[in-house]
Amino acid sequence: MAQAIKKQALGRGLSALLKDPENDIKSVDDKNADKVVGNIIELEIAAIEINPFQPRSNFNEESLRELATSIKELGVIQPITVRKLDFNKFQLISGERRLRASTLVGLTTVPAYIRIANDNESLVMALVENIQRHDLDPIEIALSYQRLMDEIQLTQEQMSERVGKKRSTIANYLRLLKLDPIIQTGIRDGFISMGHGRAIINIEDQDAQADIYQKIVSQNLSVRETETLVKNYQESLKPKAAGKPKAASFEIAEDHKNDFASYFGTKVDVKVAGNGKGKITIPFHSEEDFNRIIKLIKT
């Protein structure tokens, strides 16, 4: 207990140092920077602005209230991380839920780690630290990966090294951004999982994606059932191979074909199908020839 009080008092002492205009620390080389940078300091919430690089945009209100209750009873156990912008002005790098919950219970200060970073470093720190959290939804993580790649020109391989994830894992997240926006919202809101999304992404037609999404939600389909549904849809698009005609069920002897030809005075075509049914075709070359054949049939 005495150690905790000493630590808190130290944090407040460093806070006073930050408010001294004669000790305005702007880089790690400034006087007293070693006493501030990387240390836990009780920081006024009013001096902290929200990080524009924060990937999280959805905050579960119930979860936030539960955290606020915990903070009211136990205090902020894990300090937030901020970067120094100007004199007594800081920007949040990570810990927005803790900051919001602390504000909810009326705290005026929070424990914070102080860092000095440029915009790119702040972007990397904010996104990488948030990506490592377990409570980001898959779309938020995908957007964080995409932003890092776009804004500081990282390849998937470089991203893999930065965040400690396999390149294939990063690629799977990024592919989710190709889904119809309605389906992305469904993942964010928890109606379907990332596994469902990975199955749906194999369908290029977004209307078909939307149809399958509706079936997943309405029928409460599992990921395995969704994969089967997608597979059946893809199979339905493949051109069906023309079936081979069945062999004739019996053969017509050449003698019989010759008998027809001899009787009608013309070559007669006789065909038999695989089911035993057949067709006899008697050609004629003029009206006179047609009438001649009619007389033969009536004879």
pLDDT value of position 146 = 82
Q: Is 242 inside a domain boundary?
A: no
Tell whether 183 and 292 lie within a shared domain.
Answer: no
102: pLDDT confidence band, cut at 50, 70 and 90?
very high
Q: Is 28 inside a domain boundary?
A: yes
Segments forming the whole domain that contains residue 260: 254-298
Q: Is 144 inside a domain boundary?
A: no
Share the mean pLDDT of the chain. 78
Q: Is 145 inside a domain boundary?
A: no
pLDDT value of position 228 = 93
Between helix 138-151 and helix 119-131 the angle, nearest 10°, is 150
Tell whether 13 and 55 lie within a shared domain.
Answer: yes
Tell whether 96 and 15 lie within a shared domain.
Answer: yes
Domain count, the chain: 3
**Is 56's pLDDT higher than 70?**
no
Residue written as token pair 């936030």 = 64
Annotated catalytic residue 96: yes
Tell whether 227 and 290 lie within a shared domain.
Answer: no
Our CA dihedral for 232, 234, 235, 236, rounded to 10 degrees, sits at 90
Residue-wise pLDDT tens digits, 114-173: 777 665 666 666 667 666 665 678 888 888 788 777 767 778 888 788 777 888 988 999
Q: Which helix (H) or strand (E) holds 115?
A: strand 109-115
CA distance 65 to 257: 93
Domain boundary among 75, 96, 131: 131
Give exposure, 88-111, as e/b (b: 16+ Cβ within 10 Å): bebbbbbbbbbbebbeeeebebbb
Instruction: Show the tokens assigned to 95.
Output: 């810990």
What CATH number should be reported for the domain holding residue 16? 3.90.1530.30
Classify 233 as helix, strand or coil. Answer: helix
What CATH number should be reported for the domain holding residue 188? 1.10.10.2830
- What is the rounded average pLDDT of the residues 88-105? 86
Catalytic hit among 61, 62, 96, 140? 96
- Nearest Cα residue to 41 out of 94, 115, 130: 115
282: pLDDT confidence band, cut at 50, 70 and 90?
confident
pLDDT value of position 61 = 81
Residue-wise pLDDT tens digits, 7-22: 444 445 555 556 555 5
Q: Is 245 inside a domain boundary?
A: no
Asked if residue 162 lies in contact with residue 128, where contact means CB atoms within 8 angstroms, the answer is: yes
- Nearest Cα residue to 198 out of 166, 230, 167: 230
Q: Is 207 inside a domain boundary?
A: yes
Q: Is 172 inside a domain boundary?
A: yes
Of 126 and 206, the one with more pLDDT? 206
